[in-house]
Amino acid sequence: MSAKKSSRTKTPRKASPRTSLVPTGARGVADGEFERAGNAADFIFSQTSLRPRIALVLGSGLGAFADGFAGTTKIPYAKIPHFPQSTAIGHAGKLVIGKVGAIPVAGMQGRVHLYEGYSAKVVAFPIRVFARMGVKALILTNAAGGIKREFSQGRLVVISDHINLQGVNPLTGPNDERFGLRFHDMTAAYDKRFREMTVDEANRLGLGMYEGVYAALLGPSYETPAEIRYLRAIGADLVGMSTVPEVIAARHSGIRVLGISCVTNAAAGILDQPLNHLEVLETAERVKGQFIGLLKAVIPRIAEAVA
């Protein structure tokens, strides 16, 4: 064995305590999520020359919006390193990069949910990838049950705030400060300017927009009427099974958030009829045109705000 080689096979030097500035759960070791999200972002960038600053998560029935982007690159989630697979009906499972007018955007056709058995960290992983891609604004859409009486079937509602009743948070465990602070602010989780712009554009389009507080539950069962009475009493206007882990992860990295719900049904017990997923999908399909019109109007304004 040459002297050179043997010098290389010596026991490795101990890492200097100054090699990482990333604090650990217990002692400062990151868990690799930053690197995994970086790998996914690199892969996405290897597939397209676009560098979107706006990303969208298109919930139940809304995925079609991304089919209308110009000059698209469509990447199945299965091809993106570490990306979770969507198993929910109405969620195509593709990331579509393209343009809305002149604005580059990344649209997720479907998301993963906690009720599919994924952890909150996995549910929020795509948002980590967006953070690594340099995304500055995130538009989250979802289907929700209407708790507030004015929120009738088919209404679009801008989310003003949320109540996390999912019992989990994607940020538990070691904090990687390259993403954000250990304890980050959620006072203005839903960007005030984005909300104003959306209400503005909805009015211009004659849509009549409301704002409301979204309560996130684990699902997959719909709520009981007693649970809906409880949610109303604590200040919730809408109820759903998604969005909140993504908002938490986005705000952790300073990404500005717009959330819009489509009220696909009156929440349990409000009408004297059972809930079913078909009704949710049918309503989402019925208001898809309005929803897409609103997104098209809002995206240029958001692009200006994050330029």
Q: Which of residues 127 and 280 has its CB atom nearest to ligand HPA in the complex?
A: 280
- Please select the residue that binds ligand HPA; options are 52, 145, 170, 180, rule is CB under 6 A: 145
CB of 46 to ligand HPA, least distance (A): 35
Long-range CB pairs of 12-15, under 8 A, 24+ apart, other chains included: none
CB of 214 to ligand HPA, least distance (A): 10
Report the alpha-carbon distance of residue 52 to residue 37 in Å, rounded. Answer: 16
Is 238 a binding residue for ligand HPA by CB under 6 A? The answer is no
- Active-site residue flag, 265: yes
- Active-site residue flag, 246: no
String of contacts with ligand HPA for each residue 9-48, x by CB under 6 A: ----------------------------------------
- Active-site residue flag, 143: yes
Residues in a beta bridge with 265: 145
Which residues, including other chains, have CB under 8 Å from residue 150's CB and lie 6 or more apart?
A: 210
End-to-end CA separation in angstroms for the chain = 58
Residues 203-222 that bind ligand HPA (CB under 6 A): 222
CB of 217 to ligand HPA, least distance (A): 6
Q: Shortest CA distance to 129 belongs to which of 195, 224, 41?
A: 41
Report the alpha-carbon distance of residue 290 to residue 65 in Å, rounded. Answer: 11
Q: Shortest Cβ contact with ligand HPA: which residue?
A: 145
Q: Are strands 210-216 and 156-164 parallel, antiparallel or unpaired?
A: parallel
- Please select the residue that binds ligand HPA; options are 44, 156, 159, 280, rule is CB under 6 A: 280
- Active-site residue flag, 162: no
Tallying the residues shown for the chain, one arrives at: 307
- Please select the residue that binds ligand HPA; options are 240, 253, 258, 294, rule is CB under 6 A: 240
- Active-site residue flag, 91: yes
Is the backbone of residue 234 left (phi > 0), alpha (psi -120 to 50) or beta?
Answer: alpha
Report the alpha-carbon distance of residue 246 to residue 168 in Å, rounded. Answer: 12
- Active-site residue flag, 241: yes
- Active-site residue flag, 144: no
Q: Shortest CA distance to 109 belongs to which of 140, 64, 48, 69?
A: 64
Set 35, 64, 115, 169: catalytic member = 115
Set 113, 201, 222, 227: catalytic member = 113
CB of 220 to ligand HPA, least distance (A): 9
Count of CB atoms situated within 10 Å of the CB of 220: 13
- Please select the residue that binds ligand HPA; options are 88, 275, 287, 298, rule is CB under 6 A: 275
Q: Shortest CA distance to 179 belongs to which of 115, 218, 141, 129?
A: 129
Which residues, including other chains, have CB under 8 Å from residue 286's CB and lie 6 or more apart?
A: 154
- Please select the residue that binds ligand HPA; options are 54, 95, 106, 143, rule is CB under 6 A: 143
- Please select the residue that binds ligand HPA; options are 30, 62, 137, 239, rule is CB under 6 A: 239
- Buried/exposed code over 149-162 (b: 16+ C-beta within 10 A; e: otherwise): eebebebbbbbbbb
CB of 41 to ligand HPA, least distance (A): 30
Residues forming the site for ligand HPA (CB under 6 A): 143-145, 222-223, 239-241, 264-265, 267, 275, 280
Provide the annotated active-site residues: 60, 91, 113, 115-116, 143, 241-242, 265, 277
